[in-house]
Structure 1
């Protein structure tokens, strides 16, 4: 029998609410003006996730696109009604690295207005699409602060071909006065940071390895983990994107049928909660200062 996980630490469960046709890897194959014509499966998948969280008496943070909130306000309202935090994933799933400061501000404000209208609650958190805040565009943190956000989860301290800032702090820190950065979880091993926070890595790695990495962060370092996944990852029947390159297809479709059972195990093995409730109330005493 495997050892019982460390359950005194409450980890942050986060869902990046976007549909399969909006992921960055498929951007070369699906134009934005095609989005309204695609079969949208986000309602089905989010309701599946909400029901799963109810079964485990778990609350989470849903980083949601304003584009989806505009079209499915009742879905965003339902997320909030069930006790979850509604946070921002931007409006149009544009990488921050592709935007000017003013363009980023407009994207943030448009998303914030839509999400707050639908959820009936203030939007305090933000996660950049594809973790696209890094060394070259740290000005984005100032814009987040100016637009009323209190925390970000956008700087991934790993080396990756699409994103990452390997030298960034691994745990929550004051990125600006009044703004906390809460990175996705990594495990420092053999001189490098290993991704330990979900997404495609969770589908790629054996569950036992993901479980072990989170336990190390909880037990050895005494820190809360930040885990993320997407609604399309619990949908093995989603339409296939024609013409996508093999690498993108591998990353997107790998082990989709195994995702929900693995999530059920994860929810049972660890304690989970909302980002705002874990990191904001005691921010002054818990965060490191960069």
Structure 2
């Protein structure tokens, strides 16, 4: 029986410091039927040279590594770069997102393919994601990832992102639907595919930890905060910042615009309530006193409700 083909999609940008370690972990996978697609986003620290050196050193052919050319060294940002990779790579059975600075456990792809094959629905978008370890810059484990809700539907991903990009593997149907998005500008690929799978398909969670998620001071995102720091972040970024409008309202509104016809009646009604840009007392009250929770923790839900109370959404 032919093994399913996996395309690994890696976005790089000034990642020279940790790239070799991540490449080592990819090419030590117990599951071998994969091709790594890499697009550099205009690095100037030797990332491209390191990648070329690694390919020659390990005698990797185009069956194992494909560099998606960026001759103009155009910087798309990490969101645009991942969309470009998802769009340009050929068809496969599954697609795994990959950051440049993490380290994968040897069985990461094996576990993903195993669970995706058990949930093989040709006509449904399916997303797999796994647990992982938060680490410092030197890969010292800080703590494991939080356990997501048991059942993840659209409501659970409107104001919360259970899965981070590097932990996600999607099937071909999900890729197909995602690429139908008319305008992908400023949309995070990982949050977007989660919404599609939650609303129209299946999300499969694997409690096995399959990666070391490296966090350091210059990272694009951070996840190694304690609860006090998280609360401070909510106050600064959500309650008094623009995260609610620029990220959550933007993505919910865009998702409604793109896929409202494909949603169930209940999901369409719920999403319309939080997607509209209208501002009136009735809408404010309906949002504020919405009867069901959106976030897995009470503290996170409280931060959301305060934002709704203050009309910061």
Shorter-chain TM-score above 0.5: no
> Using CA pairs below 8 Å that are at least 6 residues apart, which structure has the higher relative contact order?
1
Q: Of the two, which has the highest radius of gyration?
A: 2
TM-score when normalising by structure 1: 0.28
